[in-house]
Structure 1
Amino acid sequence: MRTILILSMLFCSIGPANAAKTKKPKSEEQKTLYAIGADIAEQIINQFLFEEKERPYVMKGFQDRLAEGKLDIEVKDYRGKIRQMIVDRQQALRNKFLDEATAREGAKRFPTGLIFTETLKGTGEKPTLKDKVRVHYHGTLTNGQVFDSSVARNAPAEFRVDGVIACWKQGIPLMAVGGKAELICPSGIAYGKAGRPGKIPPYATLVFQVELLAIIK
């Protein structure tokens, strides 16, 4: 978060007026710099989820700090509140996604948080926790970003059902061989606070499209 805050200060240091006067980038270096600015803005939007009415206060904070004058508050007194705001808003966004997913036709939400939707009924056996299975899967974050996909690799995965994340331990035995399902996994039954660096953010809700190909005897 500290990195994003520093980048945000840099991004806004030219001020809105100067940004508006800047010409459209032409050289590759200018386009690269433009891409940096757009990427920083996207990170800020995704991290803080500001409403339109809140943005003037954010900009005033930027401008007052960049002017190196007296600030209206002591920033150090609010660092904890900044972190809590991010946590609360991201949680609200996750809850909204889960509630909307639960309301879809055929979706079943379990006390663990798993949202299971059968998209194609299988005709074979159902696996137990001790079984080894072969599956195809496509995993995304709630924004649609793919973090892992055996489908894209064209290489089905094989594993014991009791050797995967809690969400799959519960969801895979609900499927029959030949079937397909969507498993929506809140962070508590996925990768939790740690996430998977470089792929899955902390506290991420995951969406899996799973096809149960076989139980390996």
Structure 2
Amino acid sequence: MRLFYLLLPLFLCTCGPADTTPAEPARDEAERSAIEERLITELSPSDDLAGRQRNAIINRAIDRNYDVYAAPEGYFYEVLQEGEYNPLDTGDIVTVHYTGTFLDGAEFDSSRRRGDPLRFRVGDLIPAWNLALQRVRPGARLRVLTPSSLAYGPDGLAAPNGDTLVPADTPLEFLIEDIRILEE
């Protein structure tokens, strides 16, 4: 019976979807409580898709102890590390490493896993990225939680072979880091 109690925590840790999101910095109870209270005020009526997705994002933030803020456009963001120099702007050519996950923590894409940063022009990606990247400077580390309307919307995202990477109307979480501006 003693062996059962020793193995039970190990068993419980291996159940459920794998959450590959990096561990968050420890916060004391007062700070966690203040973040939760602030986020609860952001909850919406959940009788439509937008309200349900917003509430799912807020619940993810509370569950993971993220200190996110609501952007007026509808996504949530947390600047995890400040960058340097001037903020990014539409048209800047940048490289970033990122990890994309569903709100349950399951990863759907990662530039680190591929070993190659993503290169793009700010303004050419999903709306949440285009907007959120203009809040930071090169070298920043940023978390973005976005409703589907600012991500892949009702079409979702398919791989070149037709496999579904992101189902339609799915809110997402991105960790964006190693942001660098390239000279043209």
Per the normalisation by structure 2, the TM-score is: 0.64
Q: 1:208 aligns with which of 148, 167, 174?
A: 174
Name the SS of the counterpart of 1:163 in structure 2.
coil
Name the SS of the counterpart of 1:148 in structure 2.
strand
CA positional deviation for 1:99:
2.3
Q: 1:169 aligns with which of 130, 135, 149?
A: 130
Give 5+ residue unaligned stretches, structure 2: 1-15, 17-46, 159-163
Q: Percent identity?
A: 27
Name the SS of the counterpart of 2:134 in structure 1.
helix
- Distance, in Å, in 2 between the alignment partners of 1:136 and 1:142 is 19
- Distance, in Å, in 2 between the alignment partners of 1:102 and 1:146 is 17
- Distance, in Å, in 1 between the alignment partners of 2:58 and 2:156 is 22
> Counterpart in 2 of 1:196?
157
Q: Deviation per CA, 1:155-180, whole angstroms, max 9, x where unpaired? A: 11110001111001101111111110
The amino acid that maps onto 2:79 is E
> Counterpart in 2 of 1:98?
57
CA positional deviation for 1:133:
0.6
Call closer, same or farther: CA 1:102–1:148 in 2, change over 3 Å: closer
CA positional deviation for 1:89:
9.4
- Distance, in Å, in 1 between the alignment partners of 2:165 and 2:58 is 24
Q: Deviation per CA, 1:97-119, whole angstroms, max 9, x where unpaired? A: 22235655631101221101011
Q: 2:112 aligns with which of 151, 156, 159?
A: 151
Does 2:94 align with 1:133?
yes
- Equivalent residues of 2:54, 2:147 under 8 A apart: no
Name the SS of the counterpart of 1:162 in structure 2.
coil
The amino acid that maps onto 2:177 is E
Q: Give the number of the structure whose residues are more often strand, by fraction.
A: 2
Per the normalisation by structure 1, the TM-score is: 0.55
- Equivalent residues of 1:187, 1:193 under 8 A apart: yes
Name the SS of the counterpart of 1:193 in structure 2.
helix
- Distance, in Å, in 1 between the alignment partners of 2:180 and 2:106 is 27
- Higher RCO (CA < 8 A, seq sep 6+): 2
Q: Give the number of the structure whose residues are more often helix, by fraction.
A: 1
The amino acid that maps onto 1:200 is V
Q: Report the count of equivalent residues.
A: 132
Call closer, same or farther: CA 1:148–1:127 in 2, change over 3 Å: same
CA positional deviation for 1:90:
7.6
Call closer, same or farther: CA 1:89–1:146 in 2, change over 3 Å: farther
Please say which structure displays the higher CA radius of gyration: 1
Q: Deviation per CA, 1:186-211, whole angstroms, max 9, x where unpaired? A: 10110101101311011000100001
- Distance, in Å, in 1 between the alignment partners of 2:66 and 2:156 is 29
